[in-house]
Chain A
Amino acid sequence: MTEEKLQALISGCMRQDRSSQKQLYKLFYGYAMSICLRYSADRDEAAEVMNQGFFKVFKHLGKYDSSRPFKIWLGRIMTNTAIDHYRINAKAGYTEDLEKAYDVSDNVLPDRRLDYNDLLRMVQRLPQAYRTVFNLFAIEGYTHEEIAMMLQISEGASKSNLHKARQKLKVMIAEANRIHDRTDFNGSIGYSPIIVMNYLDINSFFRNNLR
């Protein structure tokens, strides 16, 4: 889409023209959803956050500086909405069962056979606090100081959450690698994130209940 067409679409949205709103929504749906998905536990939650983000976009289009790329502005709103979502959840005491970090060998290397969906599923399976910090640090590139301010937590908590997020991801990758190897050996069963999840859940069950 040319810049002129995008500006025309934005003008239509500012007039609250529903057709323009839908066109803009569809145009940036994939981009916005890709951001929200990695901050959320599943697609439904991501859709709620994304819609909340689009609501802010439509409401504050008048504040958009047309000299800057619209996509970046929209992406920033999506990220901020996801952070708001995290803050409300955290402050609501919506705590997940935060486990202690596993002792995982640092030799776990990402397997190139894992695709986007596999990795997304791993990020989504992280507890929200770990997931949010990992997203902000590893993917968005914020510093711990900035993350601490954004999430209203201490820098130490940010570092700790990042460390735990990485440890959990390494466990998931290791498990995925193991299953890959096994299925490759058998040559019959393809990799499925669901199987990884179930396998981890069983591990977790034995670890927690047989002590």
Chain B
Amino acid sequence: MEPSPRTATSNPPVAASATAANLGERDLVRRSASTIPPPARQLEPVAKLIDVSKCIGCKACQSACVEWNDTKPGLETNTGIYENPHDLTPDMFTLMRFTEWENPQSGNLEWLIRKDGCMHCEDPGCLKACPAPGAIVQYSNGIVDFIHENCIGCGYCIKGCPFNIPRISKVDHTAYKCTLCSDRVAVGQGPACAKACPTHAISFGTKEDMKTLADSRIEDLKSRGYENAGLYDPPGVGGTHVMYVLHHNDQPEIYSGLPKDPKVSPVVNAWKGMAKYVGFAAMGLAAAAGMLHSAFTGPNRVTREDEEKAEDLVKEKT
């Protein structure tokens, strides 16, 4: 297995010795609306771990994201909420979502801050829904990426996503979301948000390392009274390459509606599976029925007798 960047504890310097650029065509495991050969090599799966219990809501991750991706989220008006911008946009790939939650057991007010963005599902609904060949790809390290030159702006990815993440730009009519800084990871660097986080609430490395790190964090949280602390790595979508450490993992919904058991909607599965077979079968049957009918009955021709009958009728009435 090819090594992936390990930046769980520190960010490596950009050096000549950094991993040779990867994440090219040969590292694809899935390509939307395409059948591709299995990749020649397997990259070590990576993951971003977001420890919600360590987040202070400073939005440095958002700033780093905007800076690295060179996006320009527009100014919005203050509507009395902490979220800024108010939602994910084509220019804001990650967003701190704030919830004031009263813990019914302790009576404490807890300020739950969750960094929202693409979860990089192992079984990506967006990619499944996408009709444009190569507009959405998944690399063997788990990163799901949008290739804008192939995107047609149909919004099917929005319907496929169980997390409500992709946004279509009104400017270039293509879909945008967090890339997990695939362009940084490709050269051995961690994502910009992880690099900027002042409390190390965001870590990045191999998925295995991140799980180990999460375990130690969960143990710590449990020792401090958060008995339901746990890792959010939802199996319904095959696990994700962005994971959360949640102090209340038994009720992820309290973190601004993080779904408890996300999976690709059965409606999307029916649309992308059964509907295609039924559709082609029905259209094929209709065409075949016509051909068979034609072969067995031949054309239905107007006869000389029909014309004479019509002429007689007309003569009779005129």
Q: Do A and B bind each other?
A: no
> Which A residues have a C-beta under 8 Å from some C-beta of B?
none
> Which B residues have a C-beta under 8 Å from some C-beta of A?
none
